[in-house]
Amino acid sequence: MIRIVILSLLIILSVPTNIKADVSKLLFSRLTAEDGLCDNQVMHVMQLPDERMLFTTLGNINIYDGVNFSHIHHADIEPFHLKDYHGFYHVYVDKRQMVWIKNTQSLMCFDLQQNRYITNIPEFTKEIWPEKNTITDVFVDTDYHLWLLSGRALWNDYSCKSVNLSPAWGEVQDVDVYGQYGYVFFSTGHIVCLDLKTSSVVYAKAAYSSQEAKKYDMTSMVVRTADGHFYQIRNGIEGLFLCFDTKSRTWSKLFTAHFTLHTLAVKDDAEIYFTSSRGLWRYHVKNKTREEIDNYTLSDGNKMSASANTICFDRQGGVWVGTYRDGLLYAHPDRYPFRNIDSTSLSFDTQATSVVDSRGYLWECTTDGLRLTRNGKVSMVYSEDGLSNDCVCAIVEDKEHCMWVSTANGISCIEVKKDGGLKINSYRHADGVQRGDYILGRAKLLDDGSIAMEGKNGCTVFHPNELMRMRNIQLNPILRRMTKNDHEISLDFSALNYAFPQHTYYKYTLTLDRDSTVTILRPGVDRSYIDDNGALHLTLLKLKPGKYQLKVEASLDADRWTGKAKVVSFEILPPWWQSTWAYVIYTLLTIGIVVGGMALYSYNQRKRMMRQMKEERLMARIEGLMEQCARYEDEHQSVKPTQEIAENDMDAQDSEFLKKAIALVEKNLGKQYTVEQLSSDLCMERTGLYKKLSAIVDKSPSLFMRSIRLSHAARLIREGNHSLAEIATKTGFSSASYLSRCFQEEYGCKPSEYARQ
């Protein structure tokens, strides 16, 4: 049996990482319904606090963990009527892991931790804000805090207080925070600053005049930057792009548009991207110009024209574009560092099949691995060690003293560590490397530090620094699935590595009672653990009973583990026969057996002693009677009183009777002489014999006869001239074992012990 306890880590609450590359120049990969997306009409894109991606499509909510899509169905959920929201599709996620989905005057709420919809939203919000029975709008700021609106009262979970808003400011359309202040955006173009501790109004600023407000009063979307700027797009009769500076408390109009603006994403202070009914646009803050991005370059080199509906930058530096009909587009500026060009543009004047590097090591290409000679010792490097293929074609050293080799299936980088070990990273077609073999000896280090390697389908050119840059991405793995079976447990993890899943390293530490084992798994080498999507499939077998802690880390560099670890705690319970209760029962049974054995032994000892005492008394009485009989034979008859003569006659009769009975038994000692025969020889009924012997010797006839036989047997045993079987025959016992059993009952010891005494 396994009891599972999963420990949740801290949620990462950070703003998107700045992207250095131009979105229009990136290479995009495409995710559609064929890849697991519910449908190809993407309405909203956002990143969850745990770094999973959430996509809302026309028919469902999709959550992507870098490996698979999971869908949140809501066919049987009746949306809550949200009176004051007149905008379009908007999705929030708060610090409670609640997803709030707003559409025109409708609201749904999904609990990510419980994986279920909240069916009674008024009851749920009343637990949060007890003073109000119902809400009219919901907001979540950039720091994942919840704001609730009921009429003109606005509540926040910073101070858990509400503030009454002036009707003159119009309808509340957006809420965000910066520092210790909250900022409320209204349909009239006003921004109202609130003190988060007291929920009191600090100041209010209007972006434009009341006459202009009617042109932009329908919808709003706000994005905060790290330096305290709020960029806002507004829609009405026309679109408007604004910026509010919290430090100077001033508004700036950036541009107006005669079309609808959809979503807004700030890459950095220099470039801002927004989607619209006319596609994707880029705005240059410095020169205040905008340009349309009308097509996208896919990873296969083809161009694609798609209408962008929404855009989002994730915290790893990637960009996600949701389209109206073509699914999702994803790109990362460092994702494809390899460029494939025409071979005729470069000349290769050396045959790079054998290289002596700056350390004096000799590297030689072979069709069965890479031969390395250092300090006179030869070793081989194979695909099992991390090479992309065992058929090595060319080798070259870069300016950082790393060795780059081309093979029949990609390119590998070999770093020689300080301890002499080799660190190998391989790149294949998924990274942009050309398919097919590379040409033998055709590799070259260019003047700018780039490396060129010629293949059958052209020349691959790359700069090593660009490949090293991708290792700076921080990965924070999550647990996708866990199953248990007796003393085995299987766990699936995702590193949420959207850009470079095929380069995901994993390190897991398994701890049992302070005894820890650390294992590092390498992509391309440990294929039974890490699949092509970068997911870890870990099976722990034959676990001993105890409390375990499993810590899993992910990285793009085997020597750097900077991300948050996922910790899973579980307990392997022993089988019932090894459980605590079982040992308690075993202890009680042992004590019971010992006590019972001692009691039985004591009882048998007392019984034996009583039997022995009774036998001694009986034998003493018999011997006394026999002596009395002998004495009567030798004594002369004398005259006594009448009463005394009568008593002596009575004793003499008993003695004569016993003497005759003993003589009959001794006469037939070696025969099967029975009680019936004894009573017949004494001319008595069996019952009469029983009464007579019971009165005289306090024994039944059978015990009387057995005692005489045993007395003779004891004499023969003391003499030591006969075996036990012979004695049994001579004394009338059917077998030696029966004699031994009767003897032990009579004398309290075995015949052998009696003989030694």
- Express each pLDDT in 230-276 by its tens digit: 999 999 999 999 999 999 999 999 989 888 888 999 877 778 998 98
Give the mean pLDDT of 182-191.
96
Q: Write the CB contacts of 71 (distance below 8 Å, at least 6 apart in sequence).
A: 38, 60, 61, 62, 63
Task: With a cut of 90, say whether residue 699 has pLDDT above it.
Answer: no
Q: Quick: pLDDT tens for 135-181.
A: 999 999 999 999 999 999 999 999 999 999 999 999 999 999 999 99
Task: With a cut of 60, say whether residue 6 has pLDDT above it.
Answer: no
Residues paired with 72 in a beta bridge: 61
* DSSP codes, 103-166: ETTEEEEEETTTTEE-S-HHHHHHHHSTT-S--SEEEE-TT--EEEEETTEEEETTTTEEEEPP
Confidence of residue 1 (pLDDT cuts 50, 70, 90): very low
SS3 102: strand
Task: With a cut of 70, say whether residue 559 has pLDDT above it.
Answer: yes
CB 570 within 8 A of CB 5: yes
Task: With a cut of 80, say whether residue 8 has pLDDT above it.
Answer: no
d(CA 412, CA 373): 18
SS3 399: coil
Other CB atoms within 10 A of residue 130 CB: 8
Q: What stretches of 289-342 adopt beta strand conformation (E)?
A: 289-293, 296-298, 303-304, 308-313, 319-323, 328-331, 339-341
Residue 348: its pLDDT value, please? 81
Closest among 297, 537, 610 to 432, alpha carbons compared:
297
User: Which CATH number is correct for 473-573, 2.60.40.10, 3.40.50.1000, 3.40.1500.10, 3.20.20.70?
Assistant: 2.60.40.10
d(CA 186, CA 175): 9
d(CA 629, CA 462): 131
d(CA 73, CA 61): 7
At the topology level, CATH places domain 339-462 in: Methylamine Dehydrogenase; Chain H (2.130.10)
Give the mean pLDDT of 339-345.
83
Of the listed ranges 138-147, 524-533, 603-612, 683-692, the least confidently predicted one is: 683-692
CB 32 within 8 A of CB 40: yes
Confidence of residue 630 (pLDDT cuts 50, 70, 90): low
Give the mean pLDDT of 66-75.
85
Considering the entire predicted model, what is its pTM? Answer: 0.72
Confidence of residue 619 (pLDDT cuts 50, 70, 90): confident
Q: Pairing mode, if any, of strands 261-266 and 250-257?
A: unpaired
SS3 286: coil
Task: With a cut of 90, say whether residue 24 has pLDDT above it.
Answer: no
Residue-range domain boundaries for the chain: 339-462, 473-573, 581-756
Q: Quick: pLDDT tens for 422-455.
A: 999 999 988 889 888 899 999 999 999 999 999 9
Q: Pairing mode, if any, of strands 296-298 and 27-31?
A: parallel
Calculate what percentage of the chain has a pLDDT beyond 90: 48
Q: Specify whether the backbone of 13 is left (phi greater than 0), alpha (psi in -120 to 50) or beta.
A: beta
Other CB atoms within 10 A of residue 92 CB: 18
d(CA 103, CA 118): 16
Q: Specify whether the backbone of 420 is left (phi greater than 0), alpha (psi in -120 to 50) or beta.
A: left
Closest among 185, 180, 140 to 165, alpha carbons compared:
185
Q: Please provide the average confidence, as pLDDT, over all residues in the chain.
A: 86
Give the mean pLDDT of 643-660.
62
Residues in the chain: 757
Pick from 48-62, 182-196, 711-725 the range whose average pLDDT is largest.
Answer: 182-196
Q: Establish how many alpha carbons lie within 13 A of residue 528's alpha carbon, considering only the half-sphere containing its beta carbon.
A: 2
Task: With a cut of 60, say whether residue 651 has pLDDT above it.
Answer: yes
pLDDT higher at 640 or 454 = 454
Of the listed ranges 119-128, 151-160, 274-283, 360-369, the least confidently predicted one is: 274-283
Residue 13: its pLDDT value, please? 26
Architecture of domain 581-756: Orthogonal Bundle (1.10)
Q: Establish how many alpha carbons lie within 13 A of residue 85's alpha carbon, considering only the half-sphere containing its beta carbon.
A: 27
Closest among 169, 127, 166 to 148, alpha carbons compared:
127
Of the listed ranges 53-67, 354-368, 615-629, the least confidently predicted one is: 615-629
